Amino acid sequence: MRVLVLEPGYCPYTASFKDEAEAVRKTIEGKCQMLLPFGNTVIALICSEVQDGLPLNRSINEQLTLKGRALICGWDGQRLRELTRKQAERYSRRYLYPEQLVDAGDALMAVPQSPRIKPIDERLGRKNWLLER
C-alpha cells in the first residue's frame, strides 16, 4: 500500500506498507482519526486524535493545522486505499515545505521553512522499488 507520509520538519515522502493497519500502527502516535479535508471524497488524511504536545507539521487548509506525523492515502468510502503515483506526486508538491510557528503579535502564524529531506534509513515503511516509483 503506497501512502504519503508527512513528518514535522521534513519534506513528504512515499512509503509502502503491507496494509492500512500496518501503515497507521507504524506512523501515528496514539489513537488516530481519519479526515477528508481536501475537498474530495477519495483522499483521506490520517493523524493523531490528540495533538497536544506534538510538534507542528503543516497547515492543511484554513481550518486545519496538523501536529505530529500524518498519512495521506486513498479512500473509497469504506476503507483506506493506496495512492496512485500521480496522487502521491500531487500531494507531495502541495505540502513540500514544512512549517514553523512564528509569533506575529496577536496571533501565531505558520511560516514555510526550507525543506529538509529525511534520510532513507530513517523513513518509515518499505522503500519503493525503482519500478514502483
The tens digit of pLDDT for each residue in 100-113 reads: 877 777 777 778 88
Residue 93 has pLDDT above 80, yes or no: yes
CB 98 within 8 A of CB 58: yes
Q: What is the pTM of this model?
A: 0.85
User: Is residue 68's pLDDT more than 60?
Assistant: yes
> Could you tell me if 8 and 86 are in contact, meaning their C-beta atoms sit under 8 angstroms apart?
no
**pLDDT computed for residue 76 by the predictor:** 92
The strand pair at 2-6 and 70-75 is best described as antiparallel
Amino acid 23 reads: A
Burial of residue 117 (number of CB atoms within 10 Å: 0-12, 13-18, 19+): exposed
CA distance linking residue 87 with residue 90, whole number of Å:
5
